A = this chain, B = another copy of it.
Amino acid sequence: MPHLIVEYSSNLSAYPEAQALAELNAAVCASPEVLDEADLKSRFVRNASFHVGTAASGRGFVHAQLRLLSGRSPEAKQDLAARVAEVLRRLTPRPAGVMVQLSVEIVDMDRPSYVKERL
């Protein structure tokens, strides 16, 4: 069931999205929390219209949101966030003169109302 959405600012040019998607999915699916690897649906979104803080330029970000059905332990959530962060830390471009922030957020999805099926 997990959904992984990675956004990044477009000044991180040449982001290796395909490689990152493959490595993120391998890392997350290796967690005991993911029972079926096919459940993980990941995507990248490039933000061309962004602004970090009050400085005019010289800053960028990559932010990942992992949405899981509710009920995971705090330890499991921290482990999953660490798996995502490890890949993004390694693969995110670091252009000269740009301060790049990395963040990973775990979101609980409401389990009783969740619909999931294969068409």
A residues with CB within 8 A of B: 1, 3, 7, 9, 17-18, 21-22, 24-26, 29, 36-47, 49-55, 59, 61, 63, 67, 74, 77-78, 80-82, 84-85, 89, 92, 94, 99-110, 112-119
Nearest Cβ distance between residue A5 and chain B, in whole angstroms? 8
Task: Determine the residue in chain B with the shortest Cβ distance to A116.
Answer: B103
A105 with B110: CB separation less than 8 A: yes
Number of copies: 3
The residue from B24, B100, B107, B113 contacting A77, defined by CB atoms under 8 A apart: B113
A81 with B42: CB separation less than 8 A: no
The residue from B3, B46, B63, B78 contacting A63, defined by CB atoms under 8 A apart: B3
Residues of B within 8 A of A114 (CB): 81, 103-106
Residues of B within 8 A of A103 (CB): 1, 3, 41, 114-117
Residues of B within 8 A of A105 (CB): 67, 109-110, 113-114
